[in-house]
Structure 1
Amino acid sequence: MEASKVIHAIYNDDDILMSAVKQTRAAKHHIEEIYTPFPVHGLDKAMGLAPTRLAICAFMYGCVGLAVATLMMNFIMIEDWPQDIGGKPSFSYLENMPAFVPIMFELTVFFAAHLMVITFYLRSRMWPFKEAENPDKRTTDDHFLMEVPVHGDEKALHDFFLSTGAVEVNIVDKAH
């Protein structure tokens, strides 16, 4: 197992963290990861992360839900068991489609929402019984942690992160 050193710069305010991220990127340091107790608006852009493609997946999953709803209602209400409900015979899907719109909407949303959550968990490698990866428990409560690989002078990096507003800076060996 190869070990390398990383700096854990801990902040106690999200605005100070955002400023520190901008300073760190301006100083050409690579930010490995940031652990926060809640989502920080704009942090992904400040870190230079690529935009997520989850919205594209949501659209595709919604289309699958719409197709399933259409095929299901056509089979159930038109082909398999047509019924005369309220004097409206079921001769074709198109004649009855206005009555089917709420079901189409609901299944579109159902498929998009549930499959997006599953995709997010799989993409983030978060499955049941997985051990937490937080390096510091305080990041689940009220602190923010920026993890940066150590390249070069440790003392200079330590002082740099203290100057960005970190309340604590630790140098740790991280196993790969």
Structure 2
Amino acid sequence: MASKVIHAIYTDDDLLLQAVKQVRDARYHIAEIYTPFPVHGLDKAMGLEPTRLAIASFIYGLIGMSVAILMMNFIMISDWPQDIGGKPSFSFLQNLPAFVPIIFELTVFFAAHLMVITFYMRSKLWPFKAAENPDVRTTDDHFLMEIDASNHSVEELSKFLYNTGALEIKLIEN
């Protein structure tokens, strides 16, 4: 069975947001939306679940902090203790104030780098991957809403989308 998808193109982000609400109220399934910039409130209008990236970032920060503490305890206390400026390195807790900047920097480093890697893996953005953008104008100034039309009348759906403010509508059959 061939699947039908309708691409509705909009020129304004507020118009797109209103159209998404109208399309969802009419019980049509929105497959994807392509925008040239993030549209505030679009995820809630589409009914998407909240992201768990903040939890992942916190865990990555804890990993970075743990690595920093273990690394400095091994290097400065166990492996090569040094008497620097009259401050002996007998215990980690005595020298903790000197280690705070390193702990902070490695926490931020791990959280930032692992979040970028997580984002690329989650988004399936690999090096040298071909673009999956259905319309080139969505990288500049247009917004595209992709709606599954397999179980609906194409003419009725097209008319409905024009009434929501769509500038252009294309039928794509796979």
1:20 and 2:19 correspond: yes
Secondary structure, aligned partner of 2:112: helix
- Alignment: residue pair count: 173
Q: Structure 2: give runs of 5+ residues left out of the alignment.
A: none
Tell me, in whole angstroms, the C-alpha distance in 2 between the residues paired with 1:3 and 1:102. Answer: 59
TM-score normalised by L of structure 1: 0.96
- Structure 1 segment 25-174 matched on structure 2, within 5 A: 25-150=24-149, 151-174=151-174
Tell me, in whole angstroms, the C-alpha distance in 1 between the residues paired with 2:85 and 2:164. Answer: 71
Aligned-residue RMSD, C-alpha: 0.9
Tell me, in whole angstroms, the C-alpha distance in 2 between the residues paired with 1:3 and 1:70. Answer: 57
Deviation at 1:42, TM superposition (A): 0.7
The share of aligned pairs that are identical, in percent, is: 71
Tell me, in whole angstroms, the C-alpha distance in 2 between the residues paired with 1:85 and 1:44. Answer: 54
4+ residue runs over 2 A deviation: none
Tell me, in whole angstroms, the C-alpha distance in 1 between the residues paired with 2:119 and 2:40. Answer: 19
Deviation at 1:3, TM superposition (A): 3.4
Deviations 1:124-167 (A, max 9, x none): 11111111111000000100000001122111101110110111
Q: Structure 1: give runs of 5+ residues left out of the alignment.
A: none
TM-score normalised by L of structure 2: 0.97
The residue type paired with residue 109 of structure 1 is V
